[in-house]
Amino acid sequence: MAWLDLMNHVALSELSLVFMFREAFGKVVVYKNKMKICCIGAGYVGGPTMAVIALKCPDIEVAVVDISVPRIAAWNRVSCRNLFFSTDVEKHVREADIVFVSVNTPTKTRGLGAGKAADLTYWESAARMIADVSKSDKIVVEKSTVPVKTAEAIEKILTHNSKGIKFQILSNPEFLAEGTAIQDLFNPDRVLIGGRETPEGNKAVQALKEVYAHWVPEERILTTNLWSAELSKLAANAFLAQRISSVNAMSALCEATGADVTQVSYAVGKDTRIGPKFLNASVGFGGSCFQKDILNLVYICECNGLPEVAEYWKQVIKINDYQKNRFVNRVVSSMFNTVSNKKIAILGFAFKKDTGDTRETPAYKNKMKICCIGAGYVGGPTMAVIALKCPDIEVAVVDISVPRIAAWNSDQLPIYEPGLDGVVKECRSRNLFFSTDVEKHVREADIVFVSVNTPTKTRGLGAGKAADLTYWESAARMIADVSKSDKIVVEKSTVPVKTAEAIEKILTHNSKGIKFQILSNPEFLAEGTAIQDLFNPDRVLIGGRETPEGNKAVQALKEVYAHWVPEERILTTNLWSAELSKLAANAFLAQRISSVNAMSALCEATGADVTQVSYAVGKDTRIGPKFLNASVGFGGSCFQKDILNLVYICECNGLPEVAEYWKQVIKINDYQKNRFVNRVVSSMFNTVSNKKIAILGFAFKKDTGDTRETPAIDVCKGLLGDKARLSIYDPQVTEDQVQRDLSMNKFDWDHPLHLQPMSPTTVKQVSCVWDAYEATKDAHGICILTEWDEFKKLDFKRIYDNMQKPAFVFDGRNIVNVDELREIGFIVYSIGKPLDPWLKDMPAVA
């Protein structure tokens, strides 16, 4: 038990500094009588946690109790003046002010929920014993990982057996990683305390906060309601296990395509919205928590009528099992398809290290010329920033669209992006040019970026999933045809892994002896912050052939970015890793959104608050807080298209399990949009026929006018299907764009030739206005579908007075103050938040 020796060493070196620490870090609460804490359960959580509390709180007497004599005997090798280990459970529980319960909650092996539900036998026994022996009021703390709503059951047991004694139940889940538990306890990301939102509950929460305040900074002690705290533990483990399964799913695809999972993980992890932690591919996850907690989460979702959410989380387990089986199969197949009677050395049996736990470019003499084919959302801003940062380079952006190029050469740019206007005005006609003379600029360029559409195919092989590379192939054939000098061709569009190989073949067979080097340099821009992302990128990724010529091309492009990007942020990989990294990053980001949206459904079903759960989960530095905002669903030109492309690539590479895993991200996104529509209809007396619904926001996110794949399309179509009248306002989206979007079939938004006119009936049902107050006038309900800042500042009292009653607000972005709106008189639905009392009596939404 190496960690016991560690604790013993820590105690000897730390105890002499305790009082100095107390003086340095602030006031310590002084109790008239010495506080007594008891922890039932002397295992991996209870023992270390209580030892650190005793070390940091010398004014508190801490007892750890367990019925296992050998276990308590082993613990008594560690000594601390206010820390005791005992088998006299009842005595210490009786005397305690705060009782932590840290007992096993294994997965049930029989009966209802067998193989998924948590077995709360030990917890129930502990609760009955606490009620039986207590002679004074107590705070009972859930330290074990338990299903959401367990506290409710515990309260009932204590209340019915307590003989008038009062108990306050708190949830204080542990977030310890075995191997670093002591470090995690000394310097936690966060301490989470959930309690009843009553005066007594708040008092109990404050009491436990004051214990942790001996050494934990106040801003790291988070408080939520009981259900949010209980769910946050399951959610954190689900998110962590999901990261492992995600990178393991990518590892299979890397092996199938020649990409390197280490390079892909490194590149993906440099995205600050994702981060580098828990991105190491392995044979699979283990330990006592991940599998058990996800199975428990699946069962809870099933019990709450959320089969789509349950199936989503099941995939994390399935991919983990698949990875272990794949490893075994690789061993056997590599050794001539048999290991019979062969000696195999197994190095390592614990689920992770540090624990014994077995549970589960050269300078150019002439001025360099860069050309970018494609003047869209990526090509235009990227080239503008390169021109601004590299005044010694001549940059041309070319496109066959005369109106688009004319717009770039005017004061009304074809796309809205904060900061873009200033950059273009500073560089245009100096070293930045926009032109329709595509062939001329390609012929003269040293480096040619290709940033053309790669939409989802709408017909033929792979329709609905595969990327349509028609524009890319045309660009490659044109480059080969017009070039008179060697060139570097850069993939800027998001393309399937191995696209470079196909492009090389086209260039080689049509080049007339001219040499081309293909590089992959995917973009990682977020619309609304694209200029900021280009000025200060998390990382610039460049993938090339690992040959002398390939390395020279990579260096050439590196030197362009080195004008402003620090060297350590310019990552280089092989071609396939760079191509896959873009798909992987978008898959991981979309998965985070689907994950928190899956949790939002469960929050509504249980009374937890998704904002509190997300905040608590995001305080885990292995997960981080970004992309954890529940919403009506993700949109934009990338996420759905790229995940469908990834699914298709997996299927083509014989990886059906991996393909199914990523499909769930799309399924839960569609489920969330459908759930939102169903909530609107069911709340408004099960019909919105001829009712005016104000749609605030149509772009897929704020600070952009991009409506590609915006959730608003599906929501509006769903409401129109029930014959609602829609009044739509978005500060950056035109009426023509709204009508086009509502007329298009799925995946046709990037195929201009496929556009269909809106039906006359639909035209009558949809109006677009240029003012939120006009949109909401005489409306029965409001749907907030884009998180524009101006929507937070609206005069909702004025809006309410001019609406039909009852007046509904359906907040699909969680941006309004729910309490303020309810006080005005609105009936408010906010995703993942405890339901409005009015809505609790309405039909259930799944």
CB–CB of 122/301 below 8 Å? no
State how far the Cα of 396 lies from the Cα of 414, in Å rounded to an integer. Answer: 17
- The H or E element spanning position 301 is helix 290-303
Phi-psi region at 26: left, alpha or beta (left = phi > 0; alpha = psi -120 to 50): left
State how far the Cα of 220 lies from the Cα of 78, in Å rounded to an integer. Answer: 29
CB–CB of 321/291 below 8 Å? no
C-alpha 54: how far from chain center: 36
Q: How many CB atoms lie within 10 A of CB 648?
A: 21
Distance (Å) of CA 59 to CA 27, 29, 76, 614, 648: 13, 9, 20, 34, 62
Active site residue 80: no
The structure tokens 């990724």 sit at 541
Classify burial at 735, counting beta carbons within 10 Å of its beta carbon; exposed 0-12, middle 13-18, buried 19 or more: middle
Classify burial at 760, counting beta carbons within 10 Å of its beta carbon; exposed 0-12, middle 13-18, buried 19 or more: exposed
R_g of the chain, CA atoms, integer Å: 30
Residue type, 657: E
CB–CB of 522/454 below 8 Å? no
State how far the Cα of 510 lies from the Cα of 498, in Å rounded to an integer. Answer: 19
Residue type, 84: F
State how far the Cα of 334 lies from the Cα of 320, in Å rounded to an integer. Answer: 21
DSSP secondary structure, 111-138, as one string? STTTTTSB--HHHHHHHHHHHHH--S-E
Distance (Å) of CA 120 to CA 8, 57, 102, 473: 32, 31, 12, 60
CA angle at residue 404 from 433 to 701, to 5 degrees?
A: 105
Q: How many CB atoms lie within 10 A of CB 154?
A: 24
State how far the Cα of 253 lies from the Cα of 258, in Å rounded to an integer. Answer: 8
Q: How many CB atoms lie within 10 A of CB 810?
A: 23
State how far the Cα of 316 lies from the Cα of 242, in Å rounded to an integer. Answer: 6
The encoded tokens of residue 480 equal 């080969």
Residue type, 468: D
State how far the Cα of 80 lies from the Cα of 8, in Å rounded to an integer. Answer: 9
Phi-psi region at 187: left, alpha or beta (left = phi > 0; alpha = psi -120 to 50): beta
State how far the Cα of 313 lies from the Cα of 603, in Å rounded to an integer. Answer: 15
The encoded tokens of residue 576 equal 């396939």
C-alpha 676: how far from chain center: 20
Short-list 147, 174, 317, 187, CA closest to 244? 317
Q: Which one of the listed residues 38, 39, 603, 638 is annotated catalytic?
A: 638
Dihedral sign, Cα of residue 123, residue 127, residue 133, residue 137: positive
Per DSSP, the three-state class of 690 is: coil
So which residues are the catalytic ones?
A: 638
